[in-house]
A and B are shown apart, each in its own frame.
Chain A
Amino acid sequence: MCVCPGPRRIGIPVRSSSLPLFSDAMPAPTQLFFPLIRNCELSRIYGTACYCHHKHLCCSPPYIPQSRLRYTPHPTYATFYRPKESWWQYTQGRRYASTPQKFYLTPPQVNSILKANEYSFKVPEFDGKNVSSVLGFDSNQLPANAPIEDRRSAATCLQTRGMLLGVFDGHAGCACSQAVSERLFYYIAVSLLPHETLLEIENAVESGRALLPILQWHKHPNDYFSKEASKLYFNSLRTYWQELIDLNTGESTEIDVKEALINAFKRLDNDISLEAQVGDPNSFLNYLVLRVAFSGATACVAHVDGVDLHVANTGDSRAMLGVQEEDGSWSAVTLSNDHNAQNEREVERLKLEHPKNEAKSVVKQDRLLGLLMPFRAFGDVKFKWSIDLQKRVIESGPDQLNDNEYTKFIPPNYYTPPYLTAEPEVTYHRLRPQDKFLVLATDGLWETMHRQDVVRIVGEYLTGMHHQEPIAVGGYKVTLGQMHGLLTERRAKMSSVFEDQNAATHLIRHAVGNNEFGAVDHERLSKMLSLPEELARMYRDDITIIVVQFNSHVVGAYQKQE
């Protein structure tokens, strides 16, 4: 999502006559797409898009159900967006130069875009045996923002059992979602560690010995970790476990996963906030921690250990369980609640947390203080710190921060902070053999697809092969020719499913390319994927998906044991 104060539903008087403008310096390849957009979507862009000062186009065409922009700038900023040249003139010019032609991506091109970020992990079988309740997972991302603001993480806990998987949806930049994606699992893992292990690790640090590894990451090559901040992050984490060690009363208590998850979320958000207040002598780091704190991110994290599945959610990403009924059909079980205006309990909570006289302003136009769509998030100190603190930090901060009008801007009706929390809601589910998979995805997916469709598509994809009953000749008169015909037909059916080797990719293909009949339409897919960076955000949001597959045999065996 753009950091710039983009246009939104309220606040900015966008004149319908001032058409969006494209810089002449626009990279050549994107120009190719203009005829396409002109043909099909211009009327929608018209009048709603505008151009902003750092060349990020932030538009919200009215047909998009949810504007992905969560911030409104101060009305005075509208003066920034004075178009120099009209989009109309520009495209007219182009049209003289090039004959109108339809431009389509070929299926292999579409595939290479869809598969660029796909990642699969199979829990390794050792010597043909596999005792983990997780078979593996598929994940993928499709960017709409440039750069993408979503993040994803997956790791196996090495000192405790279990696997962690999470999706993170950033806003106002990717700094916060990046930080959360690399740090949160460490906080969770540390919260889950028994006292003795914590002591061992602390002693190892103290005496300079090799540390016990805590997490085994499963990363796509594009998923990076920040090298610069690594030392800073480590120190904050160490302070955390030192406190955990000090707090230990000596009695060895069972560690409660739910509590651990809540503590980890809160602690990390607290550390993000503290690091920004304290600052760092290294100017690069100083700017980084401030960007992390002033941007925001939602998080939806699953912890799977045997049959125990915990989902901790902060914000509006969602965890959905795919359940196969006895008749083979699929049903969806939601394991998280969205924290936004559609959730009455959240609205209620917010109203109760603030004085009665703020009841009208705290949730306005379905947004927190009329600005922010998710009602819980990491970072976003604009909604957490007092006005004094915000001003102090910004003034002492680096110039880049000072120059950014957005950070200086204080939300309206800001009386009793904090308005925002990172505390997650934790759902527990005990896995059953019929629970075949879990889908974690950012709202980019849930906006475009119904949860029931999501579960059905993934379910049919994962079981594609097994769904077809094996053929047996058993006593019937079948000729080789008949059998061959039957088999060829079955194979053709399967091969369409196996175009994707990754369930998340398959889901994205449907999310982006589905036509009104629920089938993937190549033409539509091609159009959606060939949108230039600047326009993509108007038609879709970043989509990040993790599909975790469970091992029904192992889950069943757990059940029998008890």
Chain B
Amino acid sequence: MAEVVLSQKRLAAGSTRFCAGILSTARHLTIEQKMADYSNKLYHQLEQETGIHTGYIRTGSIFLAQTQDRLISLKRINSRLNVIGIPSEIISPKKVAELHPLLNVHDLVGAMHVPEDAVVSSADVALALASAASQNGVQIYDRTTILHVMVRKGQVTGVETDKGQIQCHYFVNCAGQWAYELGLSNEEPVSIPLHACEHFYLLTRPWETPLQSNTPTIVDADGRIYIRNWQGGILSGGFEKNPKPIFTEGKNQLEIQNLQEDWDHFEPLLSSLLRRMPELETLEIMKLVNCPETFTPDMRCIMGESPSVRGYFVLAGMNSAGLSFGGGAGRYLAEWMVHGYPSESVWELDLKRFGALQSSRTFLRHRVMEVMPLLYDLKVPRWDFQTGRQLRTSPLYDRLDAQGARWMEKHGFERPKYFVPPDKDLLALEQSKTFYKPDWFEIVESEVKCCKEAVCVIDMSSFTKFEITSTGDQALEILQYLFSNDLDVPVGHIVHTGMLNEGGGYENDCSIARLSKRSFFMISPTDQQVHCWAWLKKYMPEDSNLILEDVTWKYTALNLIGPRAVDVLSELSYAPMTPDHFPSLFCKEMSVGYANGIRVMSMTHTGEPGFMLYIPIEYALHVYNEVMSVGQKYGIRNAGYYALRSLRVEKFFAFWGQDLNTLTTPLECGRESRVKLDKGMDFIGRDALLQQKQNGVYKRLTMFILDDHDTDLDLWPWWGEPIYRNGQYVGKTTSSAYGYTLERHVCLGFVHNFSEDTGEEQVVTADFINRGEYEIDIAGQRFQAKAKLYPVTSLFTHKRRKDDVELSDLHGK
């Protein structure tokens, strides 16, 4: 079948044509760095391959830091660029002045230089790519409008255009800012959450002595501007604090015609430009270009297959980095379409991280107004979006909020971070941004301590919850095939298991409770709601006797963590809850307070003792109130996800989406026990795991305890920090937290074994891990770390001495 490219106007006539043409590899996500790196190499050789002039010049780029915090942010990027082989270095302001004579450097504290970054003419690159494609047999139709995509039985069958029909099995929606509308035009709509904002940049006439064509590109994020040389003059734009969203109501001819220069709006950026390059004052203006750019709700691009229509792929929402990502993103998407999966984990960019719930135009309009300035804002750990909040909430939201809860959001769901005691004030949002010890440190410490010594309750209602039931054995059969652990367990047992792909990698990591012989209750991470559903639907046979139901909204989940959880629950249910009667990983429907039919599960997602309560929402308030009032004498208090995170990282619990992804197998994270290769039937990924078991693993999830790290004074680890073994780079961290029991920072991360000669990946053994001396690189500074393959149990556990007890310990909190 022929490959066809359709374009509504001329090819590359949209914002591609207007794009500033800056290719920069300095990105915050590794996957984005890799995409940009691939694009860079691709564009570099394009001219040679096609003979079309692309304007590719390797100018390099300089990222300026006006503040220490910005410099830290650049140093973090710098460490990560270096380990994937992109040269870059942190340089002094003096060096900046040498590299770019026009810059005012007196207010700088440093900068990052990426010498291989480039500029191109984006329209010419598009042309070159198109001509290369034509030579390989791709047909290109421009000035052709797509009316809609034809779908039969959930599979793309063709495209209806204003010039006729085209049969096809694969369709890629690359419609940029119109991708949202095109997605909705389907009979079965494909939700692609993105929204355009006006974006302005300035073109000047050439300098009297024209700027050298290899003058480096400048990014002054604190001044919110970028500057590149352009035909002897400069091109400069930026990401202002007060963006102007556009096309909220869809394609609107009036708005398109009205896209005018808005000098008043550009004034702050112009001031910033003149401050950075005072000599530009005398340079003559050529024009102010207004070209809308598309932004997504989380500042990451959108790619992948639609969860509802097979063969419907999407690549859009580039957040102003279309040129940088284009080549690499195209490559991953092509791999995805040909092999069924890309060669890197792209979950962070996957369309399925969103659902229809992010599709409201009002939500998108508000959110992109926050996202666009964020491009140049300082990116600090634990940052939460402020717009588009309080969409999905637990019934306890108001109760918890009134008790001082501070909130974070995942997949539209509000989750408590921690609870601020009434007598404590935290810093305002802007002041609280830090790479160092945050102001909530003591608050979370007391929550963690309470989890360890008494009992805490955490509202974890956001988790994705599915129920699978069947009339016969169909449910068990399909689950046995989809999951690696053995699910043919007695009723009432809970099984931790991975949902693996053919390569043995985790598509999802979940806990499944067998409610009855023929029904199962499945708990997965919050952002799995769309992805897991699509995966299950893909493999489940069309069988009316097999029912899959999303019951996320039906249950409020309370996590009772701590040694006294047993006491609270047994008091509320008049049932013995001790391990003899209620062993670990057990699920039982029982009454709690007046409410009957509460699913109580003996697990806490943290490795601590306790219970999860799955409560039908109408009972949520009642059960919460009862738990809190009965729990008072056991010292119960509310806790949030930060405490949970600290507990689980300390106990070496890996979470899907942070530590685990589609390219990590259970064997690589020490979860052999959760895989039953000999459970008597085949399951997806079994062959790959068998092979891996034979050959050994090439990477291993390891727990690191930072040794010489001063929690009060040193930069805190976050995730993505390079790990060095005996001075050699071996991998990156995936998550980190302060372990309040260990009184150390704990990082989880993967250790590889790269051959010193060839760089090839080799088998990683326990011995290899244990024999290394490790260091973690936090923004350029290396800290010694101890590697552990298994959780440290009560090594430093703080035992309260008898004479430490005071009267106040008897008070309820």
Contact = CB atoms under 8 A, between A and B. Distances in A.
Interface of A: 126-129, 468, 470-473, 477-481, 483-484, 487-488, 490-491
B285 A471 contact: no
Interface string B266-296: 1100110110000011111101100000000
22 contacts: A127-B361, A127-B362, A128-B249, A128-B362, A470-B260, A470-B263, A470-B264, A471-B264, A478-B284, A479-B281, A480-B202, A480-B270, A480-B273, A480-B281, A480-B285, A481-B274, A481-B281, A487-B263, A487-B266, A487-B267, A491-B264, A491-B267
Nearest to B247: A128
Interface of B: 202, 204, 248-249, 260-264, 266-267, 270-271, 273-274, 280-285, 287-288, 360-362, 365
A128 B255 CA distance: 14
A484 B267 CA distance: 7
Contacts of A472: 260-261, 263
A389 B288 CA distance: 78
Given A470-B263, A480-B280, A488-B271, 15 more contacts: A127-B362, A128-B248, A128-B361, A470-B264, A471-B263, A473-B261, A477-B284, A478-B284, A479-B283, A480-B202, A480-B204, A480-B273, A488-B267, A490-B267, A491-B264
Contact of B270 (A128, A129, A468, A487): A487
B259 to A, nearest CB: 13
A484 B270 contact: yes
Contacts of A478: 284-285
A506 to B, nearest CB: 21
B204 to A, nearest CB: 7
B248 A479 contact: no
A487 B282 contact: no
10 tightest Cβ-Cβ pairs between the two chains A and B: A481-B281, A487-B267, A128-B248, A471-B263, A478-B285, A480-B280, A127-B362, A127-B361, A480-B283, A473-B285
B365 A483 contact: no
A483 B248 contact: no
A128 B280 contact: no
Contact of B282 (A126, A470, A481): A481
A476 to B, nearest CB: 9
A200 B274 CA distance: 68
Contacts of B281: 479-481, 484
Contacts of B202: 480
A210 B281 CA distance: 68
Q: Give the residue among A129, A480, A483 with the most B Cβ atoms within 10 A.
A: A480
Nearest to B365: A128
A478 B287 CA distance: 10
Nearest to B273: A480
A484 B248 CA distance: 31
A483 to B, nearest CB: 6
A452 to B, nearest CB: 29
B280 A473 contact: no
A479 B263 CA distance: 13
Contacts of A483: 263, 270, 285
A254 B365 CA distance: 41
Contacts of A490: 264, 267
Contacts of B261: 470-473
B288 A473 contact: yes
Contacts of A487: 263-264, 266-267, 270
Nearest to A485: B281
A491 B283 CA distance: 22
A491 to B, nearest CB: 6
Contacts of A470: 260-264
A501 to B, nearest CB: 15
Given A128-B248, A490-B264, A473 B287 contact: yes
A481 B278 CA distance: 9
Nearest to B245: A128
Given A128-B249, A129-B249, A484 B287 contact: no
Nearest to B261: A472
A19 to B, nearest CB: 51
Contacts of A468: 264
Contacts of B282: 479-481
A477 B285 CA distance: 7
A479 B285 contact: yes
A470 B361 CA distance: 29
Nearest to A126: B362
Contacts of A127: 248-249, 360-362
Contacts of A129: 249
Contacts of B287: 473
Contacts of B285: 473, 478-480, 483
A258 to B, nearest CB: 37
A105 B794 CA distance: 63
Nearest to A491: B267
A481 B361 CA distance: 39
Q: Give the residue among A128, A468, A478, A488 with the most B Cβ atoms within 10 A.
A: A128
A479 B284 contact: yes
Contacts of B267: 484, 487-488, 490-491
Q: Give the residue among B264, B271, B273, B365 with the most A Cβ atoms within 10 A.
A: B264
B689 to A, nearest CB: 49
Contacts of B266: 487
A46 B743 CA distance: 76
B254 to A, nearest CB: 12
Contacts of B264: 468, 470-471, 487, 490-491
B367 to A, nearest CB: 14
Nearest to B286: A473
Contacts of A484: 267, 270-271, 274, 281
Contacts of B204: 480
A30 B422 CA distance: 36
Contacts of A491: 264, 267
Contacts of A481: 274, 280-282
A478 B285 CA distance: 6
Nearest to B262: A470
Nearest to A494: B264
A472 B262 CA distance: 8
A488 B275 CA distance: 14
Contacts of A477: 284
Contacts of A480: 202, 204, 270, 273-274, 280-285
A250 to B, nearest CB: 45
A490 B282 CA distance: 20
Contacts of B262: 470
Contacts of B360: 127
A325 to B, nearest CB: 25
Contacts of B248: 127-128
A487 B267 CA distance: 6
A491 B287 CA distance: 21
Nearest to A473: B285
A491 B271 CA distance: 12
A478 B203 CA distance: 12
B782 to A, nearest CB: 45
Nearest to B234: A480
Nearest to B202: A480
A468 B264 CA distance: 10
A126 B281 CA distance: 44
Contacts of B271: 484, 488
B743 to A, nearest CB: 46
A477 B282 CA distance: 11
Nearest to A468: B264
A115 B122 CA distance: 51
A126 B365 CA distance: 12
A468 B263 CA distance: 12
Q: Give the residue among B260, B280, B281 with the most A Cβ atoms within 10 A.
A: B281
A126 B249 CA distance: 11
A477 B204 CA distance: 11
B351 to A, nearest CB: 23
A267 B361 CA distance: 46
B282 to A, nearest CB: 5
A472 B283 CA distance: 17
Contacts of B283: 479-480
